[in-house]
Structure 1
Amino acid sequence: MPFADIGTNELPLPRLMRLSLFQVSVGITLVILGGTLNRVMAIELGIPISLIAVAMALPLVIAPARAFIGFKSDNRRSYMGWLRTPYVWMGAMTQFGGLAIMPFALFIVSEGQSQALIVGQAAMLLAFVLVGFGVHTVQTAGLALACDLATDEKRPRIVAMLYTMLLVGMFGGALAIGQLLKDFSYIGLVRVLQGSAVLTILLTTIAIWQQEPRRRDREPSPQAARDTPRFFTVVRELLAGQADLKRLLLALAVGTAAFGMQDVLLEPYGGQVFDMGVGATTLLTALLAAGSLAGFALAARLHSRWNANPNVVAAIGLMGGIPAFSLVILAGALGSVALFSAGVFIIGLGSGLFSVSMLLAVMHRIGHAKLGSGLVLGIWGAVQAVAIGLSVAAGGAVRDQVAQLADINVLGPAFQGAAAAYSVVYHLEIGLLFAALLVLGPLVRPQLLEPRSAPTGRFGLPDLPN
């Protein structure tokens, strides 16, 4: 069994598996946000994709709060004696509220009645912000809690296991939601969203129950308040003191945007171009997660067995995305579901290779600074999520604009098909992949590489935010 040997006397495997349930709940929520709702809002409810893109992007654009949340949880002082638990619980409750009100907001928007449209749109955007903020808070504080409980020796593989559980949650959630919405109905959508809200609370409660020890030495005091470092000062010193860190973060942002721009388009593309049902398009998220797991396994072999340079492996992941998006474009022209599915799987594979390898490179440099795990996880997650948010919004806007121009025959007969507007976005993503390779290129030069220690025989991630 993978990760069967990572338990210790202080943190036995059953307790660790219970803690990982918060990642399973996050994985299910990400399937709903990034997969099912895209298709349902665009096809069944008829909501404009540009509005969907804004709704999807909002919770990601507020992701810089992850760094602040992680920093505050590192330095929290409370009479309760907990650092992370209050933040995890607050995040779960916020996520619950967003999922609970979301279906009713969507129905108001889909009806299109002018007197209620503004209220519906505001409620819809609020629901997405609440869910996104809840996910950011739960992940940042929950993973920081895992780092606190783990020993230095076991921490890399423990957080790697938590990342795997996130993908397992996405895969299992996609399969379950696909079956529940196989025959789509509005009542079924309400049940899925509100059932997911309840499941989020249950899984998170089970995950954090009696996990974090209470420390009475963390009580607030005037002296402790004066000694607490300032957030912006710490971040500024970190960026100024770490060589090549800014370039790494820029490469992370561009590469993440390249792989993430299609998140809002994947299921609508399957529905409009290939006439796939709701259940079938939801399974595309499972296929994407399976590709990410395969990329994780391949990165494990490359890093642990051959001591591969993480920058080079990240570049391999970026290059893998180029034929993947080409397959998706070709599938639309040929009407081939098989080619489309293959392209989706390879997108996940390349994305997994890129994200894991960039994490290793970034964490190697950040690890030299004496920082709490919450801030480190927050910075990583903030860069990733902001890049995805902006790219998702841009992808949806470009697709809608091209479709409108095609409808009035401005772009000529070549853009009349349903796949044409989507293919423009996929071509943009290929361009972003090349741009990410250009940013990453100088870090692959031999003179900029630091000596790497011999492989230990086991692969583990220092920390992982999502």
Structure 2
Amino acid sequence: MHAPVSPRERATVAAEERGFGWFGIARIGLVQAAIGALVMLVTTVLNRVMVVEIGLVAAIPAGLVAWHYAVQLARPLWGHGSDRGGGRTVWIIGGVAVLGAGALLATQATILMGSSFVPGFVLAVLSYSLIGAGVGAGGTSALAMLASGVSPRRRAAAAAVTWIMMVAGIVAAAFSVGALLKPFSYERLVLVSGGLALAMLALTVFATFRLERQAGRYGHAAEGGEAPGFKAAIAEIWQEQAARRFSVFIFVSMIAFSMQDLILEPFAGLVFGMEPGESTQLGGQHQGGILIGMIVAGIGGSAFAGRLPGELRLWVVAGCLGSALALAALGAAAMHGPGWPIGINVFVLGFSNGVFAVSAIGAMMGLAGAGRTTREGVRMGVWGASQAIAFGLGGLLGALGVDIARQIMAHDGSAFRFIFAIEAILFVIAAGLALRTTGTSAVPQTGSARDSEVFA
């Protein structure tokens, strides 16, 4: 005979059924894929065109990308706005629309800089501001909808699913855009950019249609009432020991994670002589590795959850160390040049990045509903802002480092090897931080007890 089910257990099962099912989670994943595809266009294709085709120093596109991350420091405000506004769908669609408009303007600005640098650069600053605002408003609201609409037990798994879909979208867009840009011309670049922007906006509208009404309401979202003021929410989050410790790890690891983003395609062009379409497809191989790494870590983390002490932390450390080894191999590739199995090397780097990323994302989602009174929007905004700082700084440091090293060393391969070595060292430091990052949040939790221990 089966043991009788208690009223509390029945209530828990009912709560699980009220929230997003896997189809609803996948629809939010489509939004993430749309955002990722548009950002890919800016950070890979336009970055490569500025450096290789137009001949600008790598610091210029890196500075523009860093600026779009700086704009995202307002993520907590946008998340707080969606908390208090009572509906997140309009923030999501509006954010993707602004992002698409910014991507189109950035394409025009890139082409204009080739003939008239100052007007083109001014337009680029405006367009990258729109890109940062669109990513921040749309992405934060999508993650907040996920965190507040999925039961606590499903949050980490749901985060993995949506990020895997986001990377899948980036991979598909990279290969598609790379193929459509052959043979390369500025006219073709404008057409491809416009088509991508329209397609991703349409996908977002489709994915969010009547989605919000299907969501459950968990944590403080279920309690109703007014969300706390912005200053009070930020103060509460900063008082949490787990949040502070996790922030240090996120900052260091995401700098390492992002340093190669803006130099990988220029590296392929300058050292291996690849055309724009070829280097974009190489970026797709990197993203494909991230996708498979996320899948492996997601399945492995679920299969062994609770069986090994600090299991999630072990996945993070493995991803960091694997990334360091792959970057060391890229340093060797920089000196070897054509003939090196660059595709395999980049794929392994992506795989290790994916293992690290999905584990860190699981920790982030687990902490999303861990506050006394703060809601998911502002908390996800804080994490997003912290990540944006690291991404912007990492990309800028990588590009500036390459520019300076190329001037000093007068050899492209040596310059790239130097930067890849710095990235590898940062990943090793991040692995050490992950091993030493222990403890739980000191505040009462609104979700399961394990929510506060995802990185302990």
Question: TM-score normalised by the shorter chain: which range applies?
Answer: 0.7 to 0.9
Do structure 1's residue 60 and structure 2's residue 69 form an aligned pair? yes
**1:399-421 Cα deviation digits (max 9, x unpaired):** 1122223xxxxxxxxx3332222
Aligned residue among 390, 393, 415 for 1:421:
415
Q: Which runs of 5+ in 2 are unaligned?
A: 1-15, 216-223, 442-449
Do structure 1's residue 389 and structure 2's residue 401 form an aligned pair? no
**1:80-133 Cα deviation digits (max 9, x unpaired):** xx520221122122112212222221122111x4xxx32211101211221122
Residue equivalent to 1:439: 433
Distance in 2 of aligned mates of 1:461 and 1:192: 43
Residue equivalent to 2:232: 233
Question: Is this contact kept in 1: 2:20–2:150, CA < 8 A?
Answer: yes
Which letter maps to 1:250? V
Distance 1:14 1:359, change over 3 A: closer
Question: Is this contact kept in 2: 1:247–1:439, CA < 8 A?
Answer: no
Which letter maps to 1:323? L
Distance in 2 of aligned mates of 1:22 and 1:144: 13
Distance in 2 of aligned mates of 1:129 and 1:301: 37
**1:439-466 Cα deviation digits (max 9, x unpaired):** 333226xxx589xxxxxxxxx999xxxx
Superposed, which structure 2 residues align to 1:22-421 within 5 Å?
22-76=31-85, 82-111=86-115, 113=116, 117-152=117-152, 154-213=154-213, 228-240=227-239, 242-307=240-305, 308=308, 309=310, 310-336=312-338, 338-365=340-367, 367-370=369-372, 371-405=374-408, 415-421=409-415
Distance in 1 of aligned mates of 2:189 and 2:17: 42
Task: State the Cα distance separating 1:243 from its structure 2 match.
Answer: 2.6
Distance 1:425 1:235, change over 3 A: same
Which letter maps to 2:172? G
Distance 1:395 1:20, change over 3 A: closer
Which letter maps to 2:229? R
Taking structure 2 as the reference length, the TM-score comes to 0.83
Residue equivalent to 1:412: none
Which letter maps to 2:77? F
Distance 1:337 1:278, change over 3 A: farther
Distance in 2 of aligned mates of 1:18 and 1:91: 16
Question: Is this contact kept in 2: 1:22–1:207, CA < 8 A?
Answer: yes
Distance in 1 of aligned mates of 2:145 and 2:242: 29
Question: RMSD across aligned C-alpha pairs, in angstroms?
Answer: 2.9
Distance 1:366 1:174, change over 3 A: closer
Taking structure 1 as the reference length, the TM-score comes to 0.82
Task: State the Cα distance separating 1:178 from its structure 2 match.
Answer: 0.9
Q: Which runs of 5+ in 1 are unaligned?
A: 1-6, 77-81, 216-223, 406-414, 451-459
Distance in 2 of aligned mates of 1:359 and 1:321: 17
Distance in 1 of aligned mates of 2:19 and 2:229: 33
Distance 1:399 1:262, change over 3 A: same
Distance 1:301 1:23, change over 3 A: closer
Distance 1:290 1:420, change over 3 A: same
Task: State the Cα distance separating 1:287 from its structure 2 match.
Answer: 1.2
Superposed, which structure 2 residues align to 1:442-457 within 5 Å?
442-443=436-437
The count of residues paired between Structure 1 and Structure 2 equals: 417
Residue equivalent to 1:219: none
Distance in 2 of aligned mates of 1:249 and 1:147: 19
Task: State the Cα distance separating 1:369 from its structure 2 match.
Answer: 1.7
Question: Which secondary structure does the structure 2 equivalent of 1:264 belong to?
Answer: coil
Greater displacement, 174-183 / 137-146: 137-146
Distance in 1 of aligned mates of 2:109 and 2:247: 36
Question: Is this contact kept in 2: 1:31–1:285, CA < 8 A?
Answer: no
Question: Which secondary structure does the structure 1 equivalent of 2:241 belong to?
Answer: coil
Question: Is this contact kept in 1: 2:52–2:269, CA < 8 A?
Answer: yes
Question: Is this contact kept in 1: 2:83–2:227, CA < 8 A?
Answer: no
